[in-house]
Amino acid sequence: MEVATDAVRLVDHHAHGALRAAPKRRSAFEAMLGGSPLDSQLGFSVRRWCAPALGLDEHATAEEYWSARSTLGEPEVNRRLLGAAAVSTYLLDTGYDVGSVLAPAEHAAASGAAVHEVVRLESLAAYLLRRTDDPVAFVTAFPAALHAATRDAKATVGALAHRAGFDLDPGRPSEDAVRQAADRMLQAGEEQVTDPVLERHLLWCAIDLGLPVQVQCGHGDADLDLPYANPLLLSGWLRATEASGVPVVLLHGYPFHREAGYLARVFVHVHVDVGAGLAQVGSQARQVVAESLELAPFTKQLYSSDAWGPAELHLLGALRWRRAMAQVLGAWVGEDEWSADDALRVLHLIGHENAERLYRL
């Protein structure tokens, strides 16, 4: 038996805009998908599940797919694939390679979905540091700038997994330490925030702000630079921030989704998703979704695609989640493990209700 999941409202609580313009070369398009559509689960999924939305047969060849995509042009590709994704609301991270992708209002128009913003802490800090050579000014300016930048935003997001890593001192750094770190960064002329002290400062400012703080873990963006991003290493910081009551959302933990689920179980303020992993693992999404439903409370799980760029990723994230949830929940109802009512309740919690409550949508 299958649980019907097609009609469930879906909030994609962490994604990026769809591509603004068609990739000039097939190799550029394939690089955005992490490699050839002929040699990965993701590529097979594009040919199986996205091809029909472009008017092709299922399992179209990579050549056919690229040809159809190029002929249609990015606006039409976006319209079709985002339409098929049928996501109701996107929360878009506007801090990563924004020149290449649609701005929130454009993504809303292309998808027909409501769109809200998530502010990336490191991007805002880098922006400020490019505009000053006074580390003292930076220390005092960041909280105010964060406040202003998030006036209409629903969350902040920290990318420390891509930089300093999770194995850092959990406490709030002193003003003096932050000033010195900013000074080092200014002296070195660095463009990206990678200093662990600065990362800690940004995270604690985000806690002070009070909006939910998303933290990227495990397999993530294309700029991921640090494979060792096991969220268990965040335990100290999670313990230090639990009393604040500010929600922390661990994003796309694969292959650490069981560990992330454990954290959601033991820390009151921790929420999780499997995010980017689902589209990547393709026909294995069913197992990964089942594992994600082991320890984490169902009221603390969310859906995200972490898609950036090609709208194939927005579609496949949603499709994989809907399809895997239908199979997993259907099997449990079929074995009389779960009642059908409970399965539906969990489907709506993870699909949209938890995100609506958490982000006050």
Q: Is 58 in the site for its own copies (CB under 8 A)?
A: yes
- Shortest distance, position 297 Cβ to its own copies, whole Å: 5
Q: Is 334 in the site for its own copies (CB under 8 A)?
A: no
The answer to whether the Cα torsion of 169, 191, 129, 119 is positive or negative is negative
- Shortest distance, position 308 Cβ to its own copies, whole Å: 15
Strand partners, 158: 215
In the set 9, 265, 348, 356, which binds its own copies (CB under 8 A)?
A: 265
In the set 16, 219, 322, 352, which binds its own copies (CB under 8 A)?
A: 219
Q: Residue 191 or residue 223: which is nearer to its own copies going by CB?
A: 223
In the set 259, 273, 306, 312, which binds its own copies (CB under 8 A)?
A: 259
Q: Residue 36 or residue 180: which is nearer to its own copies going by CB?
A: 36
In the set 29, 262, 303, 308, which binds its own copies (CB under 8 A)?
A: 262
Task: Locate 269 and state its tokens.
Answer: 């303020």
The Cβ of residue 103 has, within 10 Å, a number of other Cβ atoms equal to 15
Return the ∠ at Cα 69 (arms to 288 and 75), rounded to 5°: 95
Task: Locate 39 and state its tokens.
Answer: 């040699």
Q: Residue 21 or residue 222: which is nearer to its own copies going by CB?
A: 222
Q: How many CA atoms lie within 13 A of 152 on its CB side?
A: 7
Q: Residue 134 or residue 167: which is nearer to its own copies going by CB?
A: 167
Is 171 strand, coil or helix?
coil
- Shortest distance, position 38 Cβ to its own copies, whole Å: 8
Q: Is 62 in the site for its own copies (CB under 8 A)?
A: no
Task: Identify which of 247, 279, 311, 295 has the alpha carbon closest to the alpha carbon of residue 81.
Answer: 311
In the set 56, 98, 240, 290, which binds its own copies (CB under 8 A)?
A: 290
Task: Locate 207 and state its tokens.
Answer: 């806690």
Q: Residue 209 or residue 281: which is nearer to its own copies going by CB?
A: 281
Task: Identify which of 292, 299, 295 has the alpha carbon closest to the alpha carbon of residue 271.
Answer: 299
d(CA 224, CA 124): 18
Stretch that binds its own copies, among 105-113, 139-147, 206-214, 219-227 (CB under 8 A): 219-227
- Shortest distance, position 2 Cβ to its own copies, whole Å: 12
Contact status, residue 355 vs residue 361, Cβ threshold 8 Å: yes
Task: Identify which of 235, 229, 275 has the alpha carbon closest to the alpha carbon of residue 252.
Answer: 275
In the set 291, 344, 348, 361, which binds its own copies (CB under 8 A)?
A: 291
- Enumerate residues 161-200 that contact its own copies by CB under 8 A: none
Contact status, residue 297 vs residue 4, Cβ threshold 8 Å: no
Task: Identify which of 328, 225, 317, 336 has the alpha carbon closest to the alpha carbon of residue 273.
Answer: 317
d(CA 207, CA 210): 5
- Enumerate residues 27-56 that contact its own copies by CB under 8 A: 34-36, 38-41, 44, 48
Q: How many residues bind its own copies (CB under 8 A)?
A: 53
The Cβ of residue 84 has, within 10 Å, a number of other Cβ atoms equal to 19
Q: Is 282 in the site for its own copies (CB under 8 A)?
A: yes
- Shortest distance, position 219 Cβ to its own copies, whole Å: 6
Chain-centroid distance of CA 328 in Å reads 22
Q: Residue 175 or residue 294: which is nearer to its own copies going by CB?
A: 294
- Enumerate residues 227-256 that contact its own copies by CB under 8 A: 227-228, 232-233, 235, 254-255
d(CA 208, CA 144): 11
Binding site for its own copies (CB under 8 A): 34-36, 38-41, 44, 48, 58-59, 219, 224, 226-228, 232-233, 235, 254-255, 258-259, 262-263, 265-266, 280-284, 287-288, 290-291, 293-295, 297-300, 332, 335-339, 341-342, 345, 349
